[in-house]
Structure 1
Amino acid sequence: MRLAPGVTFAVPLYNKAPWIRATLDSIAAQRGDFAREIVVVDDGSTDGGAGLVAEWASGRDDVRLLRQENAGSAAASNACLAAARFSAVKFVDADDLLHPDATAVLLEALRREPTAVLAFADRMTFPDGTLPPMPPRAPLPPRRVDDALARVIRNSLFNPTQILVRTEVARAVGGCDERVLYSQEYGLSLRLAAAGPFVHVPETLAFQRVGIDGNLSADQGGQLARATRALGLFLADKPDLPVSLRRLAARRAAGRAWLWRRRHQGETFLSPWSLRRLAAWLPPRDTAAFVLASAEAIQPPQR
């Protein structure tokens, strides 16, 4: 597919009916002189959200609603990516909101850094049932992030609503890792960070709704385990990473596992997971297996 200059707004949808209209309104309100489309992939919703999207899109020619059986947000995000017709993809969680200038600002940041594969902004959380204040913009110069992979290994830098990616690069690296059904942005960010630098826009341009019953982001253990598992799978795919990065990955994973087990299972400083933190400095011969074991120490995968 030949890509045209512009932005595809990618919205994976699963049981977000109460919030999807506000999210779509936020996308429609984006300012800027760029071609655009909205691709919503309904990932087997059972709450009528897809019908609300169809109703909202009635009379518009820039919205496509695609449907698939429930396969997880990583697969739904990849379906958006595969369908994109424009050269940049702006991911948006189906219960988040965007500042009206978010997309234009991120596009400009990528234009100024032609080798950057991804631009990301800061985010603010707001309680469900309220509307976030849209603070007046205080533009600061974007910052190129050349050590993107080391930074992503240390910590997840963003949620999907914060990022704008180059479509061709995201496709070339394989998109989101569908072996981890959720926390899709972390696997994608690892893959993209191995492909090139990021650019950070130090402004609050994304707004994340919190306090939703059953929201996966509220499950801290699950989030940590999924991110750690994504890291382990990435290491398995990239066995030739420098020793410094493999050591960093092992230390971060073992540290997360130890802290989680100490806080939630009462393990002592002489426990096996405390000792594994020391082993991580070597690094382990099979770093990928070590990191994947750390993920299971936090929360075993659901069978």
Structure 2
Amino acid sequence: MPALPEISFVIPVYNKADVLPYVIRALAAQQPAPDAEYIFVDDASSDMSVAVLEREAAATLPMVTVLRNTSNAGPSVRLNQGAAQARGRLLCLIDADELILPDAVALMQQALRQHDADLVHGKVIRSALPAAQIVPTPRGAMPDCKTGDRPLQMILQGRGFVRMTWLVETALFRASGGCDERIFIQDESLPLRLATKARRLVDFRGGMTMAPQAASHLSADKRQQHHDRFFAYYNLLADQPGLPSQERQMIAATCASIAWKAVRRSGLPLAQFAALSAYLQGKAGLAVSADFLKRAATAFRALPDIRRTAPSIQLPHSASAPPP
């Protein structure tokens, strides 16, 4: 029976046939080559993504699994689907349109050991070039980083956690419940959920992946972004009633801020005066009422043309709770 890999790369894919060859090439160029398996989860792509994966990934990388799906469920569901099959002690989570630097995995592993952490986040370097013109080069040295024993507070106070370059202990991912499948896009919710269970977070200041010029991203839809951001925080309040009061207040204030932006920019059906008042209360450090948050949640649920999904993949030891 083959030995278990140290790392499981889990990469959700939707219509990335044009960039996948370069993503695969960057994974194969890791120095030194990691003891890893590679799980690509296709979300019912309508282009040639699956063909590229089955042809190029299988020929270039060891221990490749391509999971095919016939329905489009969104990255939250697909990440969980891949993580449920992962055999590694660590999960490396990256987007299917990002080219990982040649020494990124080695540096992230080193940071886990050096700081006795269970969660590492690397930034993304945005490029105006297409993937074919990008040649990722090694960082060569450990980037500056911030380390903390209160990961959730780091996430709440920080910025730049929404792009996926994560190295996380598989046990931590599963203890957190993985991605919140009530939310289509995992960008905002995954860091929050991981942080509630993490012992120590290392946040790299330097980029670990390169994002090429792209035609579109799911998160470019502002209405979808506002909806998913709000429920990332709102669901966290419902799922984690034991959070410290300071962090609950910060989360509620973030909900109010998102609601106010959505009223102005996304046509959220919520009274402007109430939304502005709640936003200003949160900004001033005052408590935002639970009644307002419930009314905001009802308004977000009423938004038309929002991609929504129902939970379908259950991780072992899932911490997910039913919608509030």
TM-score range, shorter chain: 0.7 to 0.9
Is this contact kept in 2: 1:121–1:202, CA < 8 A?
yes
In angstroms, what is the RMSD of aligned CA positions? Answer: 3.1
Look up the match of 2:181: 178
Matching of residues 244-259 of structure 1 within 5 Å? 244-259=246-261
- The alpha-carbon distance between structure 1 residues 227 and 237, as it changes in their structure 2 partners (threshold 3 A), is same
Look up the match of 1:152: 155
2:65 corresponds to which letter in structure 1? R
CA distance in 2, matches of 1:150, 1:157: 14
Which digits, 9 at most, give the CA deviation of each residue in 1:8-48, with x for residues without a partner?
11111111111111111111111125311111111211212
Look up the match of 1:282: 287
CA distance in 2, matches of 1:193, 1:181: 19
User: So what's the TM-score if we normalise by structure 1?
Assistant: 0.85
Which digits, 9 at most, give the CA deviation of each residue in 1:246-300, with x for residues without a partner?
21112122123224434566xxx97221112245422424686366357569988
CA distance in 1, matches of 2:3, 2:299: 40
Which digits, 9 at most, give the CA deviation of each residue in 1:179-199, with x for residues without a partner?
1021x1422211111112211
Please identify runs of 4+ aligned residues in structure 1 that moved more than 6 A: 297-300
2:178 corresponds to which letter in structure 1? G
1:42 corresponds to which letter in structure 2? D
Q: Which has the higher strand share?
A: 1
Look up the match of 2:105: 103
Which digits, 9 at most, give the CA deviation of each residue in 1:101-135, with x for residues without a partner?
11111111111222x23101222112363534646
- The alpha-carbon distance between structure 1 residues 18 and 5, as it changes in their structure 2 partners (threshold 3 A), is closer
Look up the match of 1:62: 63
Q: Equivalent residue of 2:19, what SS?
A: helix
Look up the match of 1:10: 10
- The alpha-carbon distance between structure 1 residues 252 and 297, as it changes in their structure 2 partners (threshold 3 A), is farther
CA distance in 2, matches of 1:34, 1:52: 22
Which digits, 9 at most, give the CA deviation of each residue in 1:43-96, with x for residues without a partner?
211212101111113445421111123221111111111111111111121111
Q: Equivalent residue of 1:194, what SS?
A: helix
Is this contact kept in 1: 2:43–2:78, CA < 8 A?
yes
Instruction: Return the offset for 1:205.
Output: 1.3
Q: Which runs of 5+ in 2 are unaligned?
A: 309-324
- The alpha-carbon distance between structure 1 residues 3 and 290, as it changes in their structure 2 partners (threshold 3 A), is farther
- Sequence identity of aligned pairs in percent? 29
Look up the match of 1:123: 124
Q: Equivalent residue of 2:6, what SS?
A: strand
Instruction: Return the offset for 1:154.
Output: 4.5
